[in-house]
Structure 1
Amino acid sequence: MPVYTVHAPLTNGTELRSTDGFAFVRDGFHVWAALLGPVWLAGHRLWLALLGWIVVVIAIQLAMVKLGAGGTAILSVDVLMALLMGFEAASLWRWTLSRHRWRQLDLVVADDEEAAERRFFDRWIAGQRGFGNDQSGVDRGGPPPPRNIAGQPFSRPPPLPHSDIIGLFPEPGASR
């Protein structure tokens, strides 16, 4: 199942109210980025990545021609560059978002982008319900604190063992 990262622009100390500007970036191989790398980069407005891609491809092409590589070698390098672009397209997109001071809010696992949006906003709304649903104040790492109420047998925790041995056989030399 695809994994999506959710990004939002940084705000100046205010809450995130404009949720229509969130970006959902799918992790994984992007076919259109592999087939039409410069068009995909321009379509997503990744201008610095597009400039870098053009410079790298031209440099590799010139180096291969200068070294006297054959047409098959040049074509195979072009195919490898296209595959690299397909695999790294999401990373370039996330890098550009972080350069523009966007922050990553969440990771969502879903079948498609619509389902990822639905899952993210369901969690987002559940977290925004106010003080009645404050999950940050609850310590889920240990048992609940014991209450010392007279008449309740489980109001005090059991006493700690006094021996130094911890395990299945608490007495040395005891039968198994």
Structure 2
Amino acid sequence: MPVYTVHAPRANGVDFRATDRFMFVRDGFHFWAMLLGPLWLIWNRLWLALVGWVIAVIAIELVLAKLGAGTAAIFLAELVVALLMGFEAASLQRWTLSRRNWRQLDIVVADDEEAAERKFFDRWTKQRPPGNDPLSVDRGAPPPTRQVPGQPFSKPPPLPQGGIIGLFPEPGGTR
């Protein structure tokens, strides 16, 4: 079964108003990214990855041509780059989303993207009741401190009846 990672924009906060912008990125091999690497990068608006791909391919071809490699070796190198693009396409998408200040919310295992959406939103709505924004939750009063009288931590706990704590008797006593 395919694994999907769910990403949300950090700027809007994670609430029900931003659900139409959530991205589901399928992990695994992307055939079209292997076959049409630069077009796939343009289609998914991975501009920095496209620049890196162009630089890498040109550098590999120049180095192999400088070394006197034949066309078969250059073709094999381009084939390896295409396979790497197919295997790492999802990682490039996640990397670009994290650079754009998106955060990963969850990982979902489902048959297809629609089932992944259903499974994620079922789980997400059960965890967060409507109107609950986890970024602005009131946590209540400040934590208790030892310096404020009347707080639960103001007084140390009483010593046990025998006056012995753990394995050691009173400090400075005989052994």
**TM-score when normalising by structure 2:** 0.71
**Structure-to-structure mapping, 1:101-140, within 5 angstroms:** 101-129=101-129
Paired residue secondary structure (1:28): coil
Work out the CA distance in 1 between the residues paired with 2:77 and 2:28.
21
Deviations 1:45-89, CA, capped at 9 Å, x for gaps: 000000000000000001101110011111111111000000000
Structure 2 CA distance for partners of 1:78 and 1:107, relative to 1, 3 Å: same
Per-residue deviation, 1:16 = 5.1
Structure 2 CA distance for partners of 1:91 and 1:14, relative to 1, 3 Å: closer
Q: Cα RMSD over matched residues?
A: 1.6
Paired residue secondary structure (2:17): coil
Percent identity over the alignment is 68
| 8 Å contact kept, 2:24–2:113 | yes
Work out the CA distance in 2 between the residues paired with 1:67 and 1:114.
49
Structure 2 CA distance for partners of 1:12 and 1:44, relative to 1, 3 Å: closer
Work out the CA distance in 1 between the residues paired with 2:12 and 2:32.
35
Work out the CA distance in 2 between the residues paired with 1:82 and 1:117.
30
**Structure-to-structure mapping, 1:76-87, within 5 angstroms:** 76-87=76-87
Q: Which runs of 5+ in 1 are unaligned?
A: 132-176
Q: Which runs of 5+ in 2 are unaligned?
A: 132-175
Per-residue deviation, 1:103 = 0.1
Per-residue deviation, 1:15 = 3.7
Per-residue deviation, 1:12 = 5.7
Equivalent residue pairs, number? 131
Work out the CA distance in 2 between the residues paired with 1:25 and 1:110.
12
1:161 aligned residue: none
